[in-house]
Amino acid sequence: MAPIERTAAAMRSEDKSEQAYLEPTQENGRALFARDISGSFIMLNLIRLRDVADYSAAPELSPPAPSSGAEAFDRYIEHTLPYLRQSGGDLLLLARGGAFFIGPEHERWDVAMLVRQASVASFIAFAANAEYRAGLGHRTAAIEDSRLLPLEEARKLSAL
């Protein structure tokens, strides 16, 4: 009997049974502070979007008609940019992703973002801003899974 080939849709379905990462843990926060990053740093975001936005956690932000995860994420970016820039940060890159060129064949990330933060303290202040947090429901509605990696700029890796 020949092996059954798995389709991309079946592999994505299997991925959904794995843990999704949407928010940092307290341990992640402590680890970021422990890195003792001085000055600015860059956050590498990898994002997998929902096909249809899920506003069940923030129905007050839900648009009148159903929308895609991409549309919800666009609303999140539009809402977020003023607060990010006010905190000294900026969006350096917002790019459409896809399947890896080198990496797991079944894994895909729809969006890649690079966000410069002025400092760890300004990032924490930005993330705690009540006006910014009022629009987080757009992010929650949009994202199925994500990864966020703080990056320190380096001239030589051995110097880190």
**CATH number of the domain encompassing residue 137:** 3.30.70.100
Q: In which band, very low, low, confident or very high, does the pLDDT at 156 lie, cut at 50, 70 and 90? A: confident
Asked if residue 13 is part of any domain, the answer here is no
* Domain with 58 in it: 36-152
Q: Which of 29, 9, 23 is nearest to 120 (CA)?
A: 29
Asked if residue 113 is part of any domain, the answer here is yes
Q: Which of 42, 79, 72, 65 is nearest to 143 (CA)?
A: 72
7: Cα separation from own chain's centroid: 26
* DSSP per position, 131-148: HHHTTHHHHHHHEEEEEE
Asked if residue 41 is part of any domain, the answer here is yes
Confidence (pTM): 0.83
Number of structural domains found in the chain: 1
Asked if residue 30 is part of any domain, the answer here is no
Asked if residue 43 is part of any domain, the answer here is yes
pLDDT digits (tens, 9 = 90+) for 85-115: 999 999 999 999 999 999 999 899 999 999 9
Asked if residue 22 is part of any domain, the answer here is no
